[in-house]
A and B are shown apart, each in its own frame.
Chain A
Amino acid sequence: MATASPSVFLLMVNGQVESAQFPEYDDLYCKYCFVYGQDWAPTAGLEEGISQITSKSQDMRQVLVWNFPIDVTFKSTNPYGWPQIVLSVYGPDVFGNDVVRGYGAVHVPFSPGRHKRTIPMFVPESTSKMQKFTSWFTGRRPEYTDPKVVAQGEGREVTRVRSQGFVTLLFNVVTKDMRKLGYDTGPLDTQGVSWPSPPQGFPQ
């Protein structure tokens, strides 16, 4: 039986949005979505999701746990535009309004195996003190109209942000037919790759 050489490769990602560390905020929920290039298309699974609202644990760790599943499969002809997961975290402010607490994005890992990523989360910030006060008072904080902006490089040079937390993600990655198409993704990495660690005092 002649095997036709494949023209498409598949990327299967599953895992979870595990937990978050936000020292100043509590009662948070997160939304995730995937951003990918034009040569990519999702074939199975969910591209977006909203998690439950979680509160900080009462013990010393002060960690916010979501344990929120991710499961998606993509097909593509070209690694350009490799999918990124964009996370947005929201929570209540003093007056009860739902405000954004952080945006973050990271590429789905490239090599098959298990990977742990801890990503920084940042919010846009206004430059004038008056605007900061009115946005705190009215609950209308600066936010991105489309969170997918965080996954792009263009247009970010005029934004000022404040980084104020971290989210930990776990990924399991399986690829199909990348080697047959000639792509070399490097050594299989089953221990996960270490990341520049968050400052002292935060659990890994």
Chain B
Amino acid sequence: MAEVHVIGQIVGASGFSESSLFCKWGIHTGAAWKLLSGVREGQTQVDTPQIGDMAYWSHPIDLHFATKGLQGWPRLHFQVWSQDSFGRCQLAGYGFCHVPSSPGTHQLACPTWRPLGSWREQLARAFVGGGPQLLHGDTIYSGADRYRLHTAAGGTVHLEISLLLRNFDRYGVEC
């Protein structure tokens, strides 16, 4: 069986209007993939940057997959939230990106979006906070019901992911 190691960090996020950000991340794979070691999801620390506007998480990711097929290549998905001084959390953006398919180290910048509601909800969000959130998290990484949504851009999540592949050439896979 071929093996894939996804090792790296969620470095941080930039371009969000709020500071004090944290990120809930997860990885989704197809049926042919099996996670041998590592945690499939997690949540980063909350960072309030003193210098510049980029929030730094340095959250390590270390995953070891065994796979029987190329379908369902892993996708990392993120929910970026901001936390205010009272401890309330507000959604700042959803985003996903595929894990790179060529071995080596990659710098990834994943754009994010957040759902807009009606104009009443947008006004309420500006004054009181809150705002609409997705009911089902899998809309973040699947295209199925996206046509129903109206969204606005959030900031960018920065990742540094390295990929180690094992035995892919034995099966004739070029990447």
Contacts of B168 in A (CB 8 A): 184
Q: Report chain B residues within 8 Å CB of A96.
A: none
Q: Are B50 and A162 in contact (CB under 8 A)?
A: yes
A159 touches B46 (CB 8 A): yes
List A85-108 residues whose CB lies under 8 Å from chain B.
104-107
| Interface status of B144 (Cβ within 8 A of chain A) | no
Q: Which of A26-34, A46-54, A135-143, A194-202 contacts B (4 or more CB under 8 A)?
A: A194-202
A58 at the A/B interface (Cβ < 8 Å)? no
Could you tell me if B163 and A157 are in contact, using CB atoms closer than 8 angstroms? Answer: no
Residues of A within 8 A of B137 (CB): none
Q: Roughly how many angstroms separate A106 CA and B61 CA in the complex, as a whole number?
A: 11
A-facing residues in B74-116 (Cβ within 8 Å): 83, 85, 87, 102-105, 107, 109
A-B contact count (CB 8 A): 148
Interface residues of A in 103-133 (CB under 8 A from B): 104-107, 109-111, 119-120, 122, 125, 127
What does the 1/0 interface line of B23-41 toward A look like (CB < 8 Å)? 0000000000000111100
Q: Are A120 and B58 in contact (CB under 8 A)?
A: yes
Given contacts A80-B37, A156-B43, contact A186 B102 (CB under 8 A): yes
B122: Cβ under 8 A from any A Cβ: no
Distance, CA A111 to CA B162, complexed state (A) = 9
* A: number of interface residues (CB 8 Å): 49
Inter-chain contact A160/B11, CB cutoff 8 Å: no
Do the beta carbons of B105 and A109 come within 8 Å of each other?
yes
- Tell me which residues across on chain B come within 8 A of A189, comparing CB atoms: 104-105
Q: How far is the CA of A125 from the CA of B55 in the complex (A)?
A: 14
Segment with Cβ contacts to A, from B2-10, B123-131, B145-153: B2-10
Interchain CA distance A161-B45 in the complex, whole Å: 7
8 Å CB contacts to A: which residues of B40-64?
42-56, 58-62, 64
16 A-B residue pairs with CB within 8 Å? A78-B37, A78-B64, A111-B162, A119-B58, A153-B39, A153-B44, A153-B60, A159-B46, A160-B48, A163-B12, A163-B49, A164-B49, A182-B170, A183-B164, A186-B164, A199-B54
